[in-house]
Structure 1
C-alpha cells in the first residue's frame, strides 16, 4: 500500500531571491501563491538581481508583518527594519528585465530603494508586479502566468528527497537551500519529479518538469558562505540533460486555498 502524502510545509517568498515566510495557509492565484515573488530587486540598469550574482542578498531576512513584511539585515543590526507592503501603488513605473522577459513594474518607495542600496552596497530599486502584467511561464502562455519566479508558479519538493540527499552529504543542508513553495511528507525520495496530474485537497495541479538547480543551492542562507555542496553530490546521481535536478516545477488551479496538513493524491505519473 502506498504511503499517504500530505502537505507538510508552505512557503511564500515576497521578494525574489530573498528568504521565505513559512505559513500554515495560503491563497492560490493565477501566478502562484498569493504574495509570492511579486517584489523584485533590480540594479541601476533595471536588470533583476539574485543571489546568483550577489550572495550577500542572503543576509536580508524577511518576516511577516501586518499587510506586508519586514526586511532586516542579519549582519548589520544598525540598519533599522524596513516595512514593505504586500502590494505597491502605480505612482511610479518602469520596465524591468528578468531573464529574457521585459515587463512593466510599479516602483516601491524611495525609502525602500535607499535602504536596499545601503544594505547591498550598490544602487538598486525595489519593484512590484501588478495584476495587469502578463508574464508567461517558461512553458509558454498555454501553461499560464508566473510572477517574478524563475519559470513556473510553484515548486514542490518531497521531504523524503531532502532526507535522502542528506544521508549522502558530510554536512546536511536545510530545505531553505531549495526554496520550495510546497513540501510534501510521505512517499519515496524524488517521486515528486514524476508526478504529472495530482491534487492537493481536491485542487488540481500539473507537474511540468523537474527543476534544474543553480549555484544558489550552494549558499548557506545564514552565513552567505558558498561551498560545492549540495550540487556536487546531486550531480553524481540527479543529472538529466546536463542539469542537476531537485524538485518539480508545477502549475496550479488558479484559485483556491492550501493548508498545511492537506492530503495529496497522484493520478498520473510520467
Structure 2
C-alpha cells in the first residue's frame, strides 16, 4: 500500500477529539510563527512611521470570562485573542469559557456575581481544565470540543451567541460557589463562531466607531479581542484616590509602561515587539465591574466615582451609544499576528 494511503488510513482511525486538537495545534503553531505574516490587510497603513512610546509591562488573559486572570510573560496574539500553552497542556485563550444562566441563557459577569473574579480556570491536561477557588474543592473536567451539541446564550444587549455546554458537574460547582445552590448557572465553551457587528445590537456602534470591524471581536470578550491600558494613566488615577487600585481592576490584556498619561486615547496604530500590530478602534467605557477587588471580591466605589469626575465622555455621538460611563483604556483589533513578551518595545504610528 502506498505511503500516502497508509497515512490517510491512519488519520481516519483517529478519534474526532484527537483530530480537532491536532488541527488546533497546527493553527496555533501558524499563529506563533506570525513574525512575517499579516492577519488582515493594512491598506490604511502602507508606510508606517513607528515611534517608540514605551514597553509592554504586563500581559494577561482571562480563560473564564469575568474569572481570575492568568498573567504570562510571553504569549501568542491570535485572531481569537491571546493564546497561551504551557508544556503539553490544553491551549488557553482569552475568554473562551463563560458562565451563563441555565434558564435564560444570559451570560454572567462579576457585576452580577462579584465572587466570579476569584474563580481560576487553568489547563490540567491536553483535554481537561480545572476550576479552582479558595476554600472550595477544585473540579477537573473535559473540554467539550467539536462534535458536542451547541446551546444558545446571550451577551451584552442580548447579542445571540452559541456555546458548548460543559456538563452538569461544572454547572453544579459554579452554581454552588456563586449562589450556594446546586443549579441555576452553567459553564459554556466557545464554538469559535464569528460575530457580526453589522447586524443586531452592535450595528449602531459601527456607525460611530467606523474602524470597528467583525475581525476585531473576540470569543466571549465584550466587543474586541484586545484591551490596552497604561501604567501612567493608572498612576494618574491613583494620585486622586485614597485607596489606590491596580491595573487588574480594569482587566486589561496589555499594560504599557513609559508613555504619558492617557496618551493612548489618541493612539491608532500600535506595534508590539517586532511584528504584532493592533489598532485602537474604540475607547473602553467603565462600569461597576471595576469596583471589584480581584483578590477579595469586595467592592469599592471610589475609583469609579473618581473617573466620572475627570474621564467622562464629551462627544455626543459616542455618548449616544456608550452612555455617560467614564473612559479608561482602549479596545483594539488585531492586524498582524505573532508573539509578544513582557519587556517588548511598544511603538505608535505617527503621521
Residue 251 in structure 1 maps to residue 333 in structure 2: yes
Shift of 1:264: 1.0
Aligned to 1:209: 282
Q: Which residue number corresponds to residue 172 of structure 2?
A: 114
Residue 261 (structure 1) aligned with residue 343 (structure 2) = yes
Distance 1:37 1:86, change over 3 A: farther
Contact 1:32 1:254 in 2 (8 A): no
**Partner residue of 1:159?**
231
The number of residue pairs the alignment matches comes to 264
8 Å contact kept, 1:88–1:107: no
Alpha-carbon distance in structure 2 between the residues aligned to 1:189 and 1:235: 17
1:226 aligned to which of 276, 288, 299 = 299
* Equivalences for residues 46-61 of structure 1 within 5 A: 46-61=105-120
Aligned pairs for 1:1-270 (under 5 A) are: 4-34=53-83, 35-44=93-102, 45-63=104-122, 65-67=124-126, 69-74=129-134, 77=135, 79-83=136-140, 88-99=145-156, 100-121=158-179, 122=181, 123-131=184-192, 133-136=193-196, 138=202, 142-144=213-215, 145-201=217-273, 202-240=275-313, 241=319, 242-253=324-335, 255-268=337-350
* Preserved contact between residue 77 and residue 276 of structure 2 (Cα < 8 Å): no
Give 1:222 deviation, angstroms.
2.4
Shift of 1:168: 0.8
SS of residue in 1 equivalent to 2:326: strand
Q: Is the 8 A contact 2:277 2:336 kept in 1?
A: no
Per-residue Cα deviation, 1:46-78 (whole angstroms, up to 9, x for no partner): 11001111222233234564556532223xx1x
Gaps of 5+ in 1: none
Contact 2:56 2:254 (8 Å CA) reproduced: yes
Counterpart CA distance in 1 for 2:189 and 2:77 is: 18
Q: Distance in 2 between matches of 1:86 and 1:156?
A: 29
For residue 87 of structure 1, report the CA deviation from its aligned partner: 6.5
- Cα offset for 1:223? 2.5
| TM-fit CA distance, 1:205 | 1.0
SS of equivalent residue, structure 1 residue 119? helix
Once the two structures are superposed, residues 184-232 of structure 1 have per-residue CA deviations (whole angstroms, 9 ceiling, x without a partner) of 0111111112111121123221101210001010112222222212011
Q: Which has the higher helix share?
A: 2
Give SS of 1:230's match.
Answer: helix
Higher CA-based Rg = 2
CA RMSD, 1 decimal: 2.2
CA distance in 2, matches of 1:85, 1:37: 17
Q: TM-score, normalised by structure 1?
A: 0.89
Residues 163 and 84 (structure 1), Cα distance of their counterparts in 2 relative to 1, 3 Å cut: farther
TM-score (normalised: structure 2): 0.70
